[in-house]
């Protein structure tokens, strides 16, 4: 599992710090190797709107230098030397230019240099040893994209929003292109208004009304199928539908099955009301959905609802991970604890034994947050980070099992 050293130069993402891009392209699997315990993981709050980051010597640069040097003081001389070198490389990088986003994540080691620009803030944080992917996993969890379909009688829009912990981070707008019956990004087509009602021309009132209704229902049906296609293509896993109740519920019923499964709620929006006015209400539905999902995971753990049951607590969870039984690993975002790992055979224990019981090699001390993602990856398990404290009474961690 050792790193092959192929990544010698910086592998920078585009400065355009979009979450969807990050989540698609953040290929971090090679960082999950337990074969190397010499990685410096640095998370920096680079938010350019903060005054301390606007000084000639921004606060994050001072913090980075100081914290990496502090980290080195507790280590042996060869590791101290290595960290000194890494500290210099980091400092040189931070002098080059100001990172584009609000947060910067760096992974550095011999033959390894990765950086991720985040459009959301992260807390300053430094770790050495096994790579620390915890904050990235949290970003992935907390900023899950939601598709929001707003539909009226004669027009529809789709937004993809990334919900932050308390705020909307970014959204991207898609307009219905009626010539193709597809949602497209960019400007709305100028003929969107031309979706108008059939002309009345003296038609008998009831007939006219029913023709209008037919027309509107046809429109909603096409909106529903276009929205289904769009969320599929955009990789959006959750959908909220808003509009006047009649429109919203009709479109929900007309959604293709795959899109209906993604539906997490509807929002009642008066006719003509547009996105800025309804955003807060939509976000509340999304937040409620996140809370519900987290509580569902906790309940499934407590009720033993994995195919092979479930375990709770650090000891039992580590045991299941080492046996490769884990289907879903769940942990509080603020879980805390230490583990000791063998870099040779990947044995792990919660007791600071001096030697590996399996192969006799020395063990490396690490925090839970460094160990859990790597072990979960070996289990091919899904990792779910929960809101702080949800599993605290169970030691902050648990797992749904594939088999007993
Ligand atoms: Zn071992």
Which CATH number does the domain housing residue 279 bear? Answer: 3.30.420.60
Q: Ligand 1 centroid to 34 CA: how many Å?
A: 11
Tell me whether residue 116 is in a domain: yes
Q: Ligand 1 centroid to 289 CA: how many Å?
A: 42
User: Residue 206: in which H helix or E strand, if any?
Assistant: helix 205-234
Q: Given pLDDT bands bounded at 50, 70 and 90, which one contains residue 170?
A: low
Q: Given pLDDT bands bounded at 50, 70 and 90, which one contains residue 85?
A: very high
Residue 240's DSSP bridge partners are 148, 265
Same domain, 243 and 332: no
Same domain, 258 and 157: yes
Q: Ligand 1 centroid to 339 CA: how many Å?
A: 14
Same domain, 55 and 27: yes
Tell me whether residue 395 is in a domain: yes
pLDDT in tens, 329-383: 999 999 989 999 988 888 899 988 778 888 988 888 899 999 999 899 889 898 9
pLDDT of 358 reads 85
What is the rounded distance in angstroms from the CA atom of residue 204 to the CA atom of residue 104? 66
User: Residue 57 is part of a domain; what is its CATH number?
Assistant: 3.30.960.10
pLDDT in tens, 107-158: 999 989 988 888 788 899 999 999 999 998 888 777 778 889 999 888 888 8
Q: Ligand 1 centroid to 360 CA: how many Å?
A: 6
What is the rounded distance in angstroms from the CA atom of residue 302 to the CA atom of residue 330? 12
Look at residues 65, 85, 66, 88 and name the one whose alpha carbon lies nearest to residue 77.
Answer: 85
Same domain, 161 and 128: no
Domain finish residue from 142, 177, 211:
142
Same domain, 100 and 159: no
How many folded domains does the chain comprise? Answer: 3
- What average pLDDT does the structure give for the chain? 83
Q: Give the residue numbers spanning the domain of 383.
A: 303-404
Tell me whether residue 298 is in a domain: no
Q: Given pLDDT bands bounded at 50, 70 and 90, which one contains residue 264?
A: very high
Same domain, 120 and 152: no
Q: Ligand 1 centroid to 15 CA: how many Å?
A: 41
Same domain, 166 and 126: no
pLDDT of 192 reads 36
Mean pLDDT over 58-76 rounds to 92
What is the rounded distance in angstroms from the CA atom of residue 228 to the CA atom of residue 245? 19
Q: Ligand 1 centroid to 231 CA: how many Å?
A: 46
Q: In the 8-state DSSP scheme, what is residue 351?
A: S
Cα Rg of the chain, angstroms: 26
The angle, 0 to 180 degrees and rounded to 10, between the axes of the packed helices 368-378 and 314-322 is 40
Q: Ligand 1 centroid to 31 CA: how many Å?
A: 20
SS3 167: coil
Tell me whether residue 132 is in a domain: yes
Is 60 exceeded by the pLDDT of residue 1?
no
Q: Given pLDDT bands bounded at 50, 70 and 90, which one contains residue 186?
A: low
Tell me whether residue 350 is in a domain: yes
User: Residue 381 is part of a domain; what is its CATH number?
Assistant: 3.30.1330.30
Tell me whether residue 157 is in a domain: yes
pLDDT of 30 reads 75
Domain finish residue from 293, 317, 342:
293
Provide the 10 A C-beta neighbour count for residue 283. Answer: 20
Q: Is 96 exposed, middle or buried (0-12, 13-18, 19+ CB in 10 A)?
A: exposed
Please give the order of strands across the beta sheet that includes 326-332: 310-312, 397-401, 326-332, 382-386
Q: Ligand 1 centroid to 101 CA: how many Å?
A: 41
Same domain, 125 and 168: no
Q: In the 8-state DSSP scheme, what is residue 12?
A: P
What DSSP string describes 37-100? Answer: --EEEEEEE--TTSGGGTSSS-HHHHHHHHHHHHHHHTS-HHHHHHHHHHHHHHHHHHHH---S
Q: Ligand 1 centroid to 279 CA: how many Å?
A: 53
Q: Ligand 1 centroid to 324 CA: how many Å?
A: 16
Q: Ligand 1 centroid to 210 CA: how many Å?
A: 75
Q: Ligand 1 centroid to 301 CA: how many Å?
A: 30
Same domain, 158 and 135: no
pLDDT of 22 reads 52
What is the rounded distance in angstroms from the CA atom of residue 236 to the CA atom of residue 23? 12
Is 70 exceeded by the pLDDT of residue 202?
no
Q: Give the least confident one: 1-5, 56-60, 252-256, 288-292.
A: 1-5
Domain finish residue from 271, 293, 315:
293
Q: Ligand 1 centroid to 65 CA: how many Å?
A: 34
Q: Given pLDDT bands bounded at 50, 70 and 90, which one contains residue 275?
A: confident
What is the rounded distance in angstroms from the CA atom of residue 183 to the CA atom of residue 167? 25
Q: Ligand 1 centroid to 76 CA: how many Å?
A: 22
Q: Ligand 1 centroid to 323 CA: how many Å?
A: 15
Same domain, 59 and 32: yes
Same domain, 133 and 185: no
Q: Ligand 1 centroid to 341 CA: how many Å?
A: 8
Look at residues 77, 97, 90 and name the one whose alpha carbon lies nearest to residue 126.
Answer: 90
Q: Is 287 exposed, middle or buried (0-12, 13-18, 19+ CB in 10 A)?
A: middle
Q: Give the least confident one: 94-103, 180-189, 305-314.
A: 180-189
Tell me whether residue 61 is in a domain: yes
Same domain, 124 and 153: no
What is the rounded distance in angstroms from the CA atom of residue 383 to the CA atom of residue 99? 28
């Amino acid at each position: 599992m050792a790193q092959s050293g192929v990544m010698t130069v910086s592998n920078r993402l585009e400065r355009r710090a979009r979450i969807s891009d990050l989540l698609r392209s953040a290929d971090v699997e090679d960082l999950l190797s337990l074969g190397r315990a010499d990685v410096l993981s640095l998370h920096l709050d680079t938010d350019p709107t903060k005054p301390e980051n606007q000084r000639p010597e921004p606060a994050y640069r001072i913090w980075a230098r100081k914290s990496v040097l502090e980290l080195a003081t507790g280590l042996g001389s060869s590791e101290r030397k290595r960290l000194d070198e890494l500290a210099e490389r980091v400092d040189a990088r931070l002098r080059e230019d100001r990172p584009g986003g609000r947060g910067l994540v760096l992974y550095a080691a011999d033959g390894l240099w990765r950086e991720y620009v985040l459009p959301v803030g992260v807390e300053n944080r430094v770790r050495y040893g096994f790579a620390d992917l915890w904050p990235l996993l949290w970003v992935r969890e907390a900023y899950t994209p939601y598709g929001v379909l707003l539909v009226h009688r004669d027009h529809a829009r789709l937004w993809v929003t990334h919900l932050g912990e308390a705020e909307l981070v970014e959204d991207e707008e898609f307009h219905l292109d009626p010539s193709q019956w597809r949602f497209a990004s960019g400007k709305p087509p100028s003929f969107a208004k031309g979706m108008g009602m059939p002309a009345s021309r003296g038609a008998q009132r009831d007939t006219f009304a029913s023709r209008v209704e037919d027309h509107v229902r046809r429109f909603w049906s096409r909106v529903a199928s276009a929205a289904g296609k769009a969320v599929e293509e955009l990789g959006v896993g959750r959908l909220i539908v808003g509009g006047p109740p009649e429109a919203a519920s009709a479109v929900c019923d007309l959604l293709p099955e795959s899109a209906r499964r993604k539906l997490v709620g509807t929002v009642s929006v008066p006719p003509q009301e547009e996105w800025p006015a309804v955003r807060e209400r939509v976000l509340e539905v999304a937040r409620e959905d996140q809370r519900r999902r987290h509580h569902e995971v906790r309940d499934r753990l407590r009720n033993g609802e994995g195919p092979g049951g479930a375990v709770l607590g650090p000891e039992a969870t580590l045991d299941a991970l080492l046996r490769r039984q884990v289907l879903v690993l769940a942990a509080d975002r603020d879980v805390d604890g230490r583990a000791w790992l063998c870099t040779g055979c990947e044995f792990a224990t919660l007791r600071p034994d001096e030697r590996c019981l399996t192969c006799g090699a020395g063990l490396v001390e690490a925090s839970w947050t460094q160990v859990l993602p790597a072990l979960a990856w070996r289990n091919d398990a899904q990792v779910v980070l929960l809101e702080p404290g949800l599993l605290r009474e169970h030691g902050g961690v648990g797992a749904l099992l594939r088999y007993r």
